[in-house]
Structures are given as C-alpha cells and as structure tokens.
Structure 1
Amino acid sequence: MNSLKQQYEEKVRPCIDLIDSLRSLGVEKDLALPAIAVIGDQSSGKSSVLEALSGVALPRGSGIVTRCPLELKMKRKKEGEQWHGKISYQNNEEDLKDPSDVEKKIREAQDKMAGVGVGISDELISLEIASPDVPDLTLIDLPGIARVAVKGQPEDIGDQIKRLIQRFITKQETISLVVVPCNVDIATTEALKMAQEVDPNGERTLGILTKPDLVDKGTEEMVVDIVHNVVIHLKKGYMIVKCRGQNEIKKKVSLTEAIQKEKAFFKDHAYFQILHDEGYATVPKLAEKLTLELVHHIQRSLPRLEEQIENKLAQTQAEMVKYGKEPPADATERIGFLIDRVTAFTQNAISLASGEELKFGVRSNMFFILRKEFASWKETIERSGVTFNKNIEQEVAQYEQKYRGRELPGFINYKTFEGMVQEQIKQLEEPAILKLKEVAEIVKKELFKLAQHSFVGFPNLIKAAQLKIEAIRKEKEIAAESLLRTQFKMELIVYTQDATYSKKLGKRRREDEQEYIGFGSLQVVKKSTNNTTTSVDTRATLKEMMNHLKSYYRIVGQRLADQIPLVIRYQMLQESTTQLQREMLQMLQDKEKTEALLLENCSIKNARLHLQKCHMRLSKARIRLMEFSMNTYSFKSAQLQCPS
C-alpha cells in the first residue's frame, strides 16, 4: 500500500506542479494551459464543494459571491506539517498563517480588483493552500451564473459572467466541472447548457450533484440514474457530494466533522448507498477523481503544449525582429544606432530598385506589379496597332481619289505615309504619360511601406523619409515626363535603319502572301465605300502601301514598348532611390535633429516590452518542460492508480 501511494504521489505532484509553475510564470497570457474550471448557477453549492476540498472557508452569501476567477492551488503536505497559505493578485502577494484569514483576504482582493460592491473582474486571484488535509489539485472557481441583476449590479451582469465563463471553458485544454443541485431539473441548468454548447459530446465535462439531502421524495431514483450517466451522458461521468449547509455553518460544524457526516449520510441512505459503494459519492472520492482527471488531462496535453510553446516562441521572435532593438541611452551610441537604421533602409531601397532580395525579412512584390504594368503598356500599343490597321485599310481604299499624284501604281506618296504614321504615334503619347504616373504612385507606395517597416516605432523618422520620397517622386516624375515627351517628338521623325525596315517589310509581305494563298487566288473587283470600283492594279498598290505602314508601325511599337518602361524605370527607380540614399544620409549630419528622429512611439515601445516579457516567459516554460521530460516522470506512459 505504501509503495502504491508513493508511486501515485511521484506521478501526481510533478504534473500538477509543472502546470502551476507555468501558470505562475504567466504563460496562460500566451496560450491555454490544462485546467479544471468550476462553474454553476447561483446557489448551486459550488462554494461548499470548494470549501470541502480545500478545508478553508470561502466567501459566502446571497447573489454573486465569487466576483473574480479564483485559482485554488492545493498541495498535500506530509502528516504533521503545518498549514500554509498564500494569496496573490495583480502585484500583491501575501502569506497566510491561519485558514480563518482566507475568506477576508479574498474579499479584500475582489474589492480591489472588481470594486467594492457587486461588479466582476476577469483578472485572476491565486490562492495557494498547503496542508496534510488537502488533495494535490488545482481548480479555477468562476462566478456563479446570474439570471437577474440585483440592486447595484449592471443590467448586463448575466451576460458579463457568461462571457467570462465562456473564455475559460471554450478552451480545449479546460475540463468543465459543472455543479448542479439535486433538487432542480438538471436539463434546465444554465451551467450544464453552457458546458454542452462548447463540449457537445461531453468529452471534457464532469458533473457534480450537490444538496442530496434536499431531494424531493420520489425523485431519488432519478438522481441515481443521473449519477449512473443514463440521463444526460458525460464521458467523464458524475459524482455526488453532501457539503455543509447554512445551518451547519451557523452551528460551526468543522469541515472534518462534515466529511464524517457526509459519509454516514450516503452509507445509510436507502437509495444513495449504492453510489457510495460504487465510489461515486463523498468529497474524498471527488478529490481523488478530480486529481486523476487533471493529471491524465495534463499528460495528454503536454505534447501539444510543447508544440504550442515552440510555435509561439518562433512567432514572438519574428515579432521582436519586426519591432527592432530599443535605441541605446548613450548619445554617441544613439547616433550610431540611427546611422545603422538609415543605412539599412537606403540599402533596401537600392535593392528594391534593382529587383534584388531585400534584407531583414522585408518582402515586396513591386517588380511583379511593374511587370504587369509594363505588359499592359505593350497591350496598349498592340491594341493601337489593330486600330491603326483597320483605319488604314479603310483609308487606302480612297487613296486614288484623295492622295495619288503623278506617281505610277506601286509607288506611295511619302507625305501620306508620314502623316498616317505620325497621327497614330501621337495617340500613344498620353497613355504613356498616364502609365508613368501609375508606376510613380506604385513606387512611392512601396518606398513608403519600406520606410514604415524599417523605422517601426519612430514616427518622426518615418515622416522624414516619406517627405523625401514624395519630393523626389515629384522631381523625377517631371524629369521622366520630359524624356517621354521628347521621345514622342523624336518618333514623329519617321526613321529606322534600312536593314531593319527591309527585314520587317519582307516579313510582312511573306505574311501577306500566306493570307493570299489561304483565301485562294480568285481575283475580284472590289467596291470602295463611295461605290466606285477599285481595279486589280490599284488594289495591289494599296496592299503594298498597307504593308509599308504596318511594317513601320511594328518597328515603332517595339521601340516604344521597350523605351517607355526603360525611361520610367531609370527615373522612378534607379535615380529616385540613389537620390533618396544621398539625401537620407545627408540628413544625419544635422545632429540637432537626431533626438527628434529617434523619438519613439510609446505604443511600439510597450509592444516591444510586452514581446520581451512574453519571450522570457516562454523560454522559461520551454526549459521547465524539457526538465520535466528528462526526469523519471514519464507523462507519456504513466498509468496512475488511486491509493485507498
């Protein structure tokens, strides 16, 4: 028996201590920990159950008594060792020497956290009790579910309490301990209904029936059926207990005496004796059941908890990189810090312009966007070419009447050719300028984002960089527009290398022959738009003219398809980022502005501090989990048995 008890305590205490230590680190701010949450409607006997388990009196009364979540950590001490208690909340911590002090200290804590009166708070009060008379167990007591607000309570007090309870029991790591009086219809209790909403299969819900001495005659068998799990099925089942009533408290019946009376009640009860014999009744049996449930729950949760901690640590580290380091206090070091940040930003800006990978985890899809923009520019040219081809096919049919002079068939009037080409090129000028403005806006936005990422937490530095980016954008946009308009003026000079033109014209003629073969060699006399007849010879002349026009437009189109993006990229990317680098570094020469530039945003400073604390908590938690895994308490293979 002693070896069995020793084995039990060797496996139980370390598991519970591990989770308690993680909770004391504050890890629950970052991720959910295995826990048992006690919930129940008002006057369900919830406080009586906790008193019976802990051996100390907790706040009692009508209405809402538990106004803050109470973490009740019970640690069994060896026989003969003294009782010890400790209460902690917010930044307060106090040792307790006498069990009679507990109720008063909890009320004081609730008044400080939830205000004097009947309000509630979601901040946790931690009560630690070490005694030979308590089980190794940690429970979280939650406010009783209120249906109607009483004097002094907010109208939505019921909703507030439900939201608080849901915050705990929704977590998959939490076992819901639902306390229900025997003298009410269990199916109508709000607490069980809430537990079923978040745990419809009852896999992590355990029911406790209280007040069996108040059961109406004739309903005892129904209570037995509930505990036997045949009315509303819960995989963890039910227990039944009889705690001190209000009359016994007034008579100052001790908790030890109450436990003896409880045992006698069940053993002598005509209906409930079977529940006692089967181990479903009394507070001591409940304590054993809860301890085993918690330890098994912890064992099952630990592998996932390890994974969660690793993932959260990686996420926290990534966030810390995003917020960067805090500026040093030393004046000289601060200048060096500023130079490093600005240099990193300008180097990334240069890399952004050249399409290279950016440092420090920065991501940009700018070149993908620009490729789409320049591809759409090429599509604009091609659409213009299609329109041009349709227009010249209509116009050349009227060529004989309007333009033909003394030249023989097969010769083209150069002025006509030049005029038609120039007219088409002019139509592309404004779309090119519009494309410049669109790209300039894209580049500005990407550089703005880069500044925000590079100078997180330094609003003055971000603003200074963005002002320079905007000023440079305007300057380079004007320069680029001037170059583009010059390009279009040059394109009005109809020119290309003879060899290039001859090659393009030859290709066009071969395409024309293929079209001719495809339609067959049938020659027809075609009517023009004004019903005049166009001869076969004239038609040949006009086809030759179209070949010349289409061939030259292809050359111009290819030239503009490349040249316009080159001008835009050169001015809006290369030139802009080079000038930005120069001006940002020149700005650092003004030492009087250094302090203003390094003025940090309070929210970012607080966020960095929060992340640092989170990282420290999680790092300590990982170490404790590793230590636990390495010792002899194997949570993966432990098969616990209860000592008698």
Structure 2
Amino acid sequence: MSKQSELTMNDSINNMLVVSSVSNVNPIESYDPEALRNSFHSEIRPILDVLDKLRTQGITEENVNIPTIVVVGDQSSGKSSVLESLAGITLPRGQGIATRVPLILRLQSCLSEQDSKILMEYENVKEMRINSEDDIEAAINAATDDLAGSNKNIRNTPISLHIRKPDAPDLTMVDLPGITRVPVHGQPENIYEQVRDMIMHYIKPEESIILNVLPAEVDFSTCESIRLSQTVDKKGVRTLAVVTKVDKAPEGLFEKVTSDAVSIGLGYVCVRNRTPADDSIAVARCRELELFNDHPDLRNIDRSMVGIPTLARRLVKIQSDMVRGCLPRIRDQIHEALQKRRQEMSNVPRSIDSVNEAVAVFLRLQNEMLNMLTQVVRDGDFSLVPDDCTLHYTARLHEEFTKFAEDLGKSGLRLSQPSQTDEIRQMFSEHQGVALPDFLPHTVLHQLVKKQIDSITQTCIFLVDRVFKYAAEVVLHVQSLIFEAYPHLRDRHHKLAIQVLNETKTTTVEFVERMLAKERTVIFTTNASYLDTIAKINSAVEKARRSNQAYIELDVGPIREGLILNEAVPATGWHREAWEMKVRIAAYSKIMHERLADEIPLEIRYALQRTIVNRLQELTMMQAFSSPEELGTLMQQDSKIIGRRVRLQQRIDTLEKSLMLVSGMIAA
C-alpha cells in the first residue's frame, strides 16, 4: 500500500479517540468501522454490487435511473478534499477546473489488504489495474487528457474508478466539474453552460442523491450549486450539504447550519479540509477531531453534524434507504426497456442461413413490394405511409395534371390582344386569291392551329418528364424501404425499375407526339361547345354594342378576359374578319386543350400503372436471379443491419440479466 494508506481509516479513528481522551473534551461520537462494515456488508453490499453491475453493463443508456450520489459544488469549494477524505486517496487538484470529466468513484470495503484492488475504466479502456494509490492521481489525469484533451475543456464522458480496501465506506459517487462563470485561459466561452448542463444531467433523475459541497466562508444562498440543485429538488428532500473549510470561517457557522435558509432536507455535515500541513489523511482526521472539540465557535454544533466519519455513515445510510426504495422502480424501468428492445428486434430482418430461407424471404419481399406499389400507385391508399407525402402518388399526380391543364389554357389566343388580331389580318392579306372574298381562308385556320400546337408541345413533353421522374422516385423509394436490409437485391430492383420506366417513358412520349401530330394535321370536332362558345362570345359583344358598353368580360377556357370593344372588336373590313377568325380559333383551342388535358394524363397514368403494378413485377421475377448462388449473393444483408441485430441482441441479453438480478434482489 502507499504512504497515504499507512494509517487506515480504522487507525485514524482510534487516534482520534486517543487525542480526545487526552484533551479531556467531549469527543465526536465514536465511530466503529468494524460494526459499520458488519451491519451493512450483509444487507447493503449485495444491493450495491448489483447496481454497480448495472452501471458497468451500461443500463443507464436504456433510460434506467440508478440511485447515485452526485457531488456538486462551485469551483474551489473543496469537493476533491471531501472525496479524498472519504476514499483515503489523492485526487487531481489544480488551478481552475481540476475535474473535467465525470468521475464515478466506487468505494468498496474488504476484509484484508490482500483483497484490495484499484481498477479504472473509461470509454474503450476496460478494467485497467492501478498498482498503487500513489498512481491514482496520475492515472486520472492521463485518462482525462485522453477524453477531454490536455487543455481546459470538459467532456461528459465518465471515468470509473473502483477502489476496494479495508474499512472503505460502501459508496458509489459521481464527482462533477466545479461550477465557474468566468472562463480562464484555454477554456471555452460557454464553460458555465457546459458544466451546468452536465450537472443537470446527473442530478435531474429522482433517484439521484445530491451531495452539495459548500465552503463555510460564503453565504450559502449565493452558491450556484444551491441554485442548480433547487431547480430539481425544491424542498431538498434528496440534498445533503457538506460544509468545508470550517477552520477558515468558524464564526457564525452554527447559526448557518441550524437555520437552514436554503432548504437542505437531508441536513448538514461540517468537515475540515485536509491541508498541505497534514502529512496524511489520518493526521487530517485527527486534527478535524481536535478542531470540532476545541474551537469555541464549533464545539456547540451537534456531534451528528460534524466529521468525515459522520459523513460516511450518513451517505451509506441515505444511499441504502434510497436503493431499497428504488429497486421496484428500477425493475419496472428495465422491463419496459426490455420490451422496447424486443420490439425493435422484431423489426430487424433475421439472418438467412440456407437457400430455402433465401427463396422464402425473396418471395415475401417481392409480395410486399407489389402490395405496397399497388396500394400507392393504383389504389391511392397511403395507410402504409401516412406521414410521407412523397409517396402520396395519386395526389401528387393530380397536382401535376391540374397544373398542366391550367398551363394549356394560358397558352391560347387572347381575345383582348389587338396585336394578335393584326397578325391574323396580315395572314388574310397573304392568302388573297385562294378563296372567294366572303369566305374565311381554311389555310389561315390551319396555320393558326399549327401555331397553337407548337406553343404547347414543350408543355406536353415536360409533363411526361416530370411525372415519370416522380414515378421513378416513388418506385425507388418503396424498393429502398422493402429491401433496406438487402443492398444487392435493392440495387438489382432499382436497375430493373429504371430500365422498364425508361422504356415506358419512350412509348409515352411517342404517344404524346402522335396526339400533337394529329391535332396539327386534322382540324376536327363534334363537340357542341365549339359553336356554343362562338355564339356566346358574339352574343356578349353584340349586347355590349347595343347598350354602348365600352368594356366587357368574357370567359373562354380557364381565363376570364376583359375587352375594350373599340380596340379588340373591329366593326367592319379585314379587321372584322380577323376578329371572327380569332373567335373561332379561341373556341377550337378550348376544345383542343380540354382534349389534350384529359388524354395525355390518362395515357400517362395508364402506362405507369401497367408498368409499375404489372410489368415491373413480371420482370423482377424473371430477371432477379438465375441460380441459387446468385440468389445467395443478392440476399446478403447490409453490414449495418447485421451490426444492429448484434447490438440489439447484446442489449436484450444485458437487460434480461439485469432484470433477473434486480428481481432476485427484491425477492430476497
């Protein structure tokens, strides 16, 4: 053992009693470590061992809260001295924040020096043995630098230090960085927020016991650690205060700890910090005994509120009571976490161990893909993906087709634009001699229709591009969902889907081009709305003229137009004939646009539905694999899925073992 442990805690207490008898003063209440060990070892140690096993197994990652003593305090409040005195070891000290990562300090008593051990764990380092207590400080500093760097940064990744030695109190505590508001050189500007968030993470659970370290020199109500603990424990029912540095400010301490102005529900324990003049922890405890027995301002404090031995007993008792009360809740939390993990595992694909299993899984996935695509593409059923609007296929197509119809209507002739009337009049003049003067030239009509078709050709082709691009996204998305665990199979299906959709797109573009060619070549309609539209326009214009209206509004297609009669509707001559031709073109364009607005979307929907629901399924069954060996390759699972399944199984195994441990402890 190290020099620091030459006198064990048992020896130090014996020395305290010797000093008190020689000094002829009222001694601090006798502390019998042997009796303490015997009374708690058989009852509490097994429970603490179970909780320590739960911690090491990472059970807290499953939102299972384990009773823990959390040591908090403002910077330089004496936290490290308190822990050193309880553990009988030396912890890192220094200017600014000495503790930069959470230190989980697990103290465990044993019967002899031969059973003593010191182990440290952090991140990927497991059960690193520390040979001597003299090496603890250096080991913690090295581990802290590994986790948080060699500067002044902090990090919420714990170091676990397990110390087993004779007469150590059976305690598990978490030491956290001291609270500071002003960053020193090398610390981040938000150091206060980082420390605060770390402290809140540990003290917020109701199972946490808050050990609030308060220096005697300050007004307790001004301590930031008090303010933080009161945010989660307003009545102080799980807060115990340790008053340090009592030798530096003994005046008025009795009133401060008895008035309890800051609501410390578990009470106060006053201690003397170890100083550089103290050669060992045992010497420090003897001088603590002398201080509380001899000092006139301190000797009146109740003996149950002073000394490190009292603090050790109080903590062991508080921890044991908290643990006993929390076991049923811990069991319920573990059970809930286990059920959740089992549910997650049920959603992870199982491993495939044979060709027959591969075939069965392949066929099941094929059916799932077909059913989902049928629901989405043909039936417009989004119940499988209610929140994923990208897969609401029929709704998105309807939006595209509605916009397409509107775009067609906007591309027609404008009755309100005189310039278009002048253009038609000019075409008339160029076609003189083709027909009798009182006939409207059919060649002009044909030329104007071709011009209308040319103006909408790009709109029609762009519609095919947009809809097929979206349809491909939907199919690939569905395939990615179904074949998530099988990347080779997913890629094969993606390739087939893109191939067959491109083929269908080509034939659909050909259909659209053929429709436009028919419209460009043949002027034809039996739709009565052609003559109705012409009559409606002429009637509105004539009525406006008789009533001397200068302005009228007309509905032709989806657009409502306003006309200034004298400019838009000539009364006689070539301009009048041009106007009449314009009206006929507008009426015919309305029918032509309605025809295209129905036929092209209908063809697109039919072609896509037939391709996705029928042809794609046939091709994937025919071309998916050609041999059992190829199927085996296709059905290889994603490494992430395999890793996830392994990790989930490990968590399930851990939770099952943890549940058995806790349930057995409750039943004992």
Q: TM-score, normalised by structure 1?
A: 0.69
Amino acid at match of 1:329: D
Deviations 1:172-195 (A, max 9, x none): 22555343444679899xxx6577
Q: Does 458-467 or 11-20 show the bigger shift?
A: 11-20
What is the alpha-carbon distance in structure 1 between the residues aligned to residue 545 and residue 313 of structure 2? 96
Deviations 1:93-127 (A, max 9, x none): 69x9xxx9894896798599668999798344264
Task: Specify the SS of the correspondent of 1:272.
Answer: coil
Report how far residue 485 of structure 1 moved: 0.5
What is the alpha-carbon distance in structure 1 between the residues aligned to residue 533 and residue 255 of structure 2? 98
RMSD: 5.8
Conserved in 2, the CA contact under 8 Å of 1:68 and 1:142?
yes
Task: Specify the SS of the correspondent of 1:71.
Answer: strand
1:141 aligns with 2:175: yes
Task: Specify the SS of the correspondent of 1:179.
Answer: strand
Which of residues 439, 450, 465 in structure 1 aligns to 2:478?
450
What is the alpha-carbon distance in structure 2 between the residues aligned to residue 514 and residue 240 of structure 1? 99
Which of residues 296, 304, 314 in structure 2 aligns to 1:288?
314
Conserved in 2, the CA contact under 8 Å of 1:313 and 1:618?
no
What is the alpha-carbon distance in structure 2 between the residues aligned to residue 198 and residue 367 of structure 1? 56
Which of residues 375, 387, 410 in structure 2 aligns to 1:383?
410
Change (3 A) 1:234 1:543: farther
Task: Specify the SS of the correspondent of 1:436.
Answer: helix
Change (3 A) 1:158 1:418: closer
Corresponding residue of 2:11 = none
The equivalences for 1:108-123 within 5 A come to 122-123=157-158
Which of residues 77, 88, 91 in structure 2 aligns to 1:57?
88
What is the alpha-carbon distance in structure 1 between the residues aligned to residue 330 and residue 543 of structure 2? 74
Corresponding residue of 2:631 = 594
Amino acid at match of 2:478: L
Amino acid at match of 1:562: D
Which of residues 330, 333, 346 in structure 1 aligns to 2:357?
333
Which of residues 293, 302, 308 in structure 2 aligns to 1:276?
302
Conserved in 2, the CA contact under 8 Å of 1:348 and 1:359?
no
Conserved in 2, the CA contact under 8 Å of 1:75 and 1:129?
yes
Report how far residue 351 of structure 1 moved: 3.6
Deviations 1:592-643 (A, max 9, x none): 3334333444344323333343455567778889999xx899xxxxxxxxxx
Change (3 A) 1:247 1:30: same
What is the alpha-carbon distance in structure 2 between the residues aligned to residue 417 and residue 198 of structure 1? 88
Q: Does 41-50 or 124-133 show the bigger shift?
A: 124-133
Which of residues 521, 526, 531 in structure 1 aligns to 2:547?
521
Report how far residue 347 of structure 1 moved: 4.0
Conserved in 1, the CA contact under 8 Å of 2:92 and 2:140?
no
Corresponding residue of 1:345 = 369
Change (3 A) 1:263 1:170: same
Change (3 A) 1:528 1:359: closer
Amino acid at match of 2:399: K
Which of residues 393, 397, 400 in structure 2 aligns to 1:370?
397
Change (3 A) 1:312 1:102: farther
Conserved in 1, the CA contact under 8 Å of 2:404 and 2:597?
yes
Change (3 A) 1:429 1:134: same
Conserved in 2, the CA contact under 8 Å of 1:209 and 1:238?
no
Deviations 1:59-98 (A, max 9, x none): 4465598787443457899x9xx9998968468569x9xx
Corresponding residue of 1:241 = 270
Task: Specify the SS of the correspondent of 2:282.
Answer: coil
1:480 aligns with 2:517: no
Change (3 A) 1:412 1:623: farther
What is the alpha-carbon distance in structure 2 between the residues aligned to residue 391 and residue 626 of structure 1? 91
Amino acid at match of 2:251: E
Which structure 2 segments of 5+ residues have no match?
Answer: 1-39, 551-563
1:212 aligns with 2:246: yes
What is the alpha-carbon distance in structure 1 between the residues aligned to residue 531 and residue 661 of structure 2? 80
What is the alpha-carbon distance in structure 1 between the residues aligned to residue 327 and residue 417 of structure 2? 73
1:28 aligns with 2:72: no
Amino acid at match of 2:174: I
Report how far residue 433 of structure 1 moved: 0.7
Corresponding residue of 1:613 = 650
Task: Specify the SS of the correspondent of 2:547.
Answer: coil
1:425 aligns with 2:458: no
Amino acid at match of 2:89: L
Corresponding residue of 1:37 = 70
Conserved in 2, the CA contact under 8 Å of 1:202 and 1:236?
no
Corresponding residue of 2:490 = 462
What is the alpha-carbon distance in structure 2 between the residues aligned to residue 578 and residue 272 of structure 1? 91
Deviations 1:404-453 (A, max 9, x none): 887797x7544443433332133111111111111222122222322332
Amino acid at match of 2:71: V
Report how far residue 489 of structure 1 moved: 1.1
Amino acid at match of 1:37: V
Which of residues 135, 160, 177 in structure 2 aligns to 1:125?
160
Corresponding residue of 2:211 = 177
Report how far residue 482 of structure 1 moved: 0.9
Task: Specify the SS of the correspondent of 2:302.
Answer: helix
Conserved in 1, the CA contact under 8 Å of 2:71 and 2:175?
yes
Change (3 A) 1:491 1:50: same
Task: Specify the SS of the correspondent of 1:492.
Answer: helix
Task: Specify the SS of the correspondent of 2:400.
Answer: helix
The equivalences for 1:564-579 within 5 A come to 564-576=600-612, 578-579=614-615
What is the alpha-carbon distance in structure 1 between the residues aligned to residue 498 and residue 59 of structure 2? 45
Change (3 A) 1:87 1:423: same
What is the alpha-carbon distance in structure 2 between the residues aligned to residue 110 and residue 212 of structure 1? 28
Which of residues 167, 175, 179 in structure 1 aligns to 2:198?
167
Report how far residue 481 of structure 1 moved: 1.0
Q: Give the % identical residues.
A: 19
Amino acid at match of 1:245: R
What is the alpha-carbon distance in structure 2 between the residues aligned to residue 33 and residue 407 of structure 1? 99
What is the alpha-carbon distance in structure 2 between the residues aligned to residue 349 and residue 496 of structure 1? 39
What is the alpha-carbon distance in structure 1 between the residues aligned to residue 331 and residue 409 of structure 2? 60
